[in-house]
Structure 1
Amino acid sequence: MIPRPHYIKKIMPYMDAPFVKILTGIRRCGKSTIMKMLMEEIKQLGKAEDQLVYYSFDSLEHEDLRSAKTLFSHLKKQLCKNKKTYLFLDEIQEVESWEKVVNSLMSDCDVDIYVTGSNSRMMSSEISTYLTGRYVAFRIFPLSFSEYLSFRKGYAQISDPHEELASYLRLGGFPAVHLQAYTTEEAYTIVKDIYNSTIFTDIVKRSQIRKIDQLERIVKFAFDNVGNTFSAASVSKYLKSERRSIDNETVYNYLKKLESAYILHRCDRYDIQGKERLKTQEKFYLADSSLRYSVLGYSPDSTAAMLENLVYLELLRRDYQVHIGKLGNAEIDFIAAKQGNKIYVQVTQEIGSAKTEEREYGRLLDIRDNYPKYVLRADSFAGGNYEGIQTMHIADFLLSDSF
């Protein structure tokens, strides 16, 4: 297993605390592996082998344990006597009413519980009802750029990070793609399988969707419009132009289901002058750039939007609350806030003219506060600051510890 210390460092401080540790994220982003890394960490602290109990509910081996009463009775028999048991329950959303099982174990037994799940039902009202104040959640993402470089070092010679960024953009960050040297076609075959299993298991099957072609058209519209603001109404209008009638509410429900499966991330807008969140014209970003290319194919025209997608995901990894900024008629790519701190970020593929330079920097200069401001770009430039605005290569920003 290739270490992912970022998550281990975040989760381990909660060991033995009276909280269920919930790891969520899109399928195949590495949750199960991180869970096994946690098990190894706990063993290193001197816990005995019989204190660690692991179940994967994705496996047919445990299909007969997918009812709450059966699972609760079974797990109670596995617990150690006179010492704490560490329970690791992988893909727990496959168990109906699993939150009742976990709540009962937390109340009645000496346990420390870790669970993973690939659907945001993991964070639904049922959890709020049964586990209020008794859980901490950790969002797991596909590999960051830094993690991607660590994985690639195992089978390839790493070039300059600026050059590696293009490969990371095209191949994405699903760990399975970077376990060995795959061709682009082989990598997209892996990603397409992840996409299909997520769509059909976490959305179509779970929600009993019959009009699968309708869902797939909405997926393709969202994938093709990363970085563009749009609404359910604009999707509905587009589909009607293709003689596919669909109402706004249905579009909204499909988008919500794609969010629930962590395929899409919704990013709303924030009015900087009015200091309020806006509920119209959101943007949607993908869980991983490779999803777009595996489903729609590669297009050079998509590079700018997908670079923006990379930066958005990195801000989320670092626990920022991220919004699109609205300043009059202008747009700031990202306002990212965390623990009272804030940064403003503009992302551009290149600055090839004075007009582009004025647009990218001018919007940030119009913001009258002293929070850090960045212009991130993927072309060659002479570095330095521009009237207090820091200019960075996107690769350097993704690897930086300074924000």
Structure 2
Amino acid sequence: MKPTNELKKRDIYLNKLIAFQDTEPVKVITGIRRCGKSSLLRLMALHLLDSGVSPAQIIEMNFESYDFKDMTSDDIYGYVKAKALPDRRLYLFFDEIQRVDVWENAVNAFRVDMDCDIYLTGSNAYLLSSEYSTYLSGRCIEIRMLPLSFAEFIDFHGFEIRESMGALGKVRRRAYDAQGESYELKEVFEAYLRFGGMPGIADVGLDQEKAMILLDGIYSTVIVRDILEREKRRGQRQITDAVLLRKIILFLADNIGSSISVSSIGNTLVNEGLLDDGRKSKPSAHTVQAYVYALLESYFFYEIKRFDIKGKDFLRTLGKYYIVDIGLRNYLLGFRNRDSGHILENIVYFELLRRGYDVAIGKLGDSEIDFIASNADTKMYIQVTESMNSEAVRTRELAPLQRIKDNYEKIILSTDTSLENEFDGIKSINVIDWLIDD
């Protein structure tokens, strides 16, 4: 399995940008560091060139480059204006623009003064804060980018899926690498669960030591640039305790898919002896909330709310948190299999987001449905479990879905589906097949 430096397509995101090409809204691409935002801008620029746009119409600025690192908002405006072409539309690409103070002044001025189409990236949700929204008066669309899906992981790492017919008429799938070596699809999925979906890992190959070095760099950059430095720029100075921040990260990573009360995190850290650096009191609930919110803003964790199916209302207590990339979790906690059920949930949650669903946890009396996924057209209920072979597990997973009386699709996803593919109208689907089949 050789690493590749080829610029790979991310069609799920590129097609969204193309759909909004030459429209008024500013296109804002957000997501955790190193998930592929810069490459997406480059792919969009290449699409424009292929469409007949001249290179002189495309202006690209990466504010993590030394060439632009000390620019002010006025400098950006002057730089672009000097390159403007009379009677020709400009395509402006600004990468990691949140590193420039009051950058929104320049972007808003471009909208007013020039014929241009604007694309931005940022690694922090502060980019879309209320201050920014005020400047653009809602004239922006957000495209939230995630690390690689399993289908993208297969492509980025040079695998090809081939299908054949089994003896009982069931389609079988195997993965083949560039050298023609054959792998069980489950082997490739296990590699995805181990290494995660950060695109940069495809450049170094599935080498554990190199992957951990790359993930360490991503982790450090998120913590320093997008959380600690961000607080300095905003002048708030709420996030100052790097040790506490790491402890909260480890706690959330260790408890993905578990119901968590943010107000109780401080108590748990103290009671379990996790804050052993000599501090005399536990952090306040307000402090913990600020740290958790900073992690959500940096796209390191995502929060999912609980929805009362009977009462048809969101509940304010005991949401869950999922980590944006399983590889980052393995970097933080080491490799282990004891909570593989929650790891599967984590994978499914982000796949649902990629597919454009709004996702909530379902509560029905004392029962819980792992995910309610809905969009403008439909809704479905999903349970995630490792295996459906055990009678006890089948009963446990089916019972909450059987209590739901509407006619929306109900699915159980597992790595081992047993011989039956349906129970009382509830589909049982292999999660690996589901991840590949969009």
TM-score, normalising length: structure 2:
0.89
Equivalences for 1:62-211 in 2 at 5 Å?
A: 62-65=68-71, 67-153=72-158, 157=181, 159-208=183-232, 209-211=239-241
> Equivalent of 2:348, from 285, 302, 311?
311
Q: Deviations over 1:325-381 (max 9, x none)?
A: 101011100001100410111001123421111010111111111100110001252
- Cα deviation, residue 210, structure 1: 2.6
Equivalences for 1:1-400 in 2 at 5 Å?
A: 1-65=7-71, 67-153=72-158, 157=181, 159-208=183-232, 209-241=239-271, 242=273, 245-379=282-416, 381-400=418-437
Q: Deviations over 1:223-244 (max 9, x none)?
A: 0000101011221111221256
- Cα deviation, residue 162, structure 1: 3.1
C-alpha distance in 2 between matches for 1:13 and 1:351: 41
C-alpha distance in 2 between matches for 1:203 and 1:158: 43
C-alpha distance in 1 between matches for 2:182 and 2:358: 32
- Cα deviation, residue 296, structure 1: 0.9
Task: Tell me the amino acid that sits aligned with residue 416 of structure 2.
Answer: D
- Cα deviation, residue 59, structure 1: 1.2
Task: Tell me the amino acid that sits aligned with residue 126 of structure 1.
Answer: E
- Cα deviation, residue 304, structure 1: 1.3
C-alpha distance in 2 between matches for 1:261 and 1:219: 12
Structure 2 CA distance for partners of 1:380 and 1:160, relative to 1, 3 Å: farther
- Cα deviation, residue 171, structure 1: 0.7
Q: Deviations over 1:31-61 (max 9, x none)?
A: 0001100000011110111011101001121
- Cα deviation, residue 158, structure 1: 5.9
Displacement over 2 Å in runs of 4+: 154-163, 179-182
Question: Match for residue 174 of structure 2?
Answer: none
TM-score, normalising length: structure 1:
0.96
C-alpha distance in 2 between matches for 1:80 and 1:160: 55
Q: Deviations over 1:111-168 (max 9, x none)?
A: 1111111000111102210112311110011011111000112665463333321111
C-alpha distance in 2 between matches for 1:288 and 1:72: 36
C-alpha distance in 2 between matches for 1:223 and 1:205: 22
Q: Which moved more, 1:359-368 or 1:176-185?
A: 176-185
Q: Which runs of 5+ in 2 are unaligned?
A: 1-6, 160-176, 233-238
Q: Which moved more, 1:376-385 or 1:337-346?
A: 376-385
Task: Tell me the amino acid that sits aligned with residue 294 of structure 2.
Answer: K
C-alpha distance in 2 between matches for 1:394 and 1:29: 23
- Cα deviation, residue 180, structure 1: 4.2
Q: Which moved more, 1:378-387 or 1:229-238?
A: 378-387
Matched residue SS, 2:68: helix
Task: Tell me the amino acid that sits aligned with residue 214 of structure 1.
Answer: L
Q: Deviations over 1:38-87 (max 9, x none)?
A: 0000111101110111010011210131x212221222112122100111
Matched residue SS, 2:200: helix
Matched residue SS, 1:99: helix
Decide whether the 8 Å contact of 1:22 with 1:135 is kept in 2: yes
Aligned residues: 400
Q: Which runs of 5+ in 1 are unaligned?
A: none
Matched residue SS, 1:227: coil
C-alpha distance in 2 between matches for 1:333 and 1:188: 30
Q: Which moved more, 1:132-141 or 1:253-262?
A: 132-141
Q: Which has the higher helix share?
A: 1
Task: Tell me the amino acid that sits aligned with residue 5 of structure 1.
Answer: D
C-alpha distance in 2 between matches for 1:166 and 1:387: 31
C-alpha distance in 1 between matches for 2:309 and 2:291: 30
Q: Which moved more, 1:203-212 or 1:353-362?
A: 203-212
- Cα deviation, residue 270, structure 1: 0.2
- Cα deviation, residue 3, structure 1: 1.1
Structure 2 CA distance for partners of 1:365 and 1:112, relative to 1, 3 Å: same
Decide whether the 8 Å contact of 1:152 with 1:158 is kept in 2: no
- Cα deviation, residue 383, structure 1: 4.2
C-alpha distance in 2 between matches for 1:324 and 1:100: 40
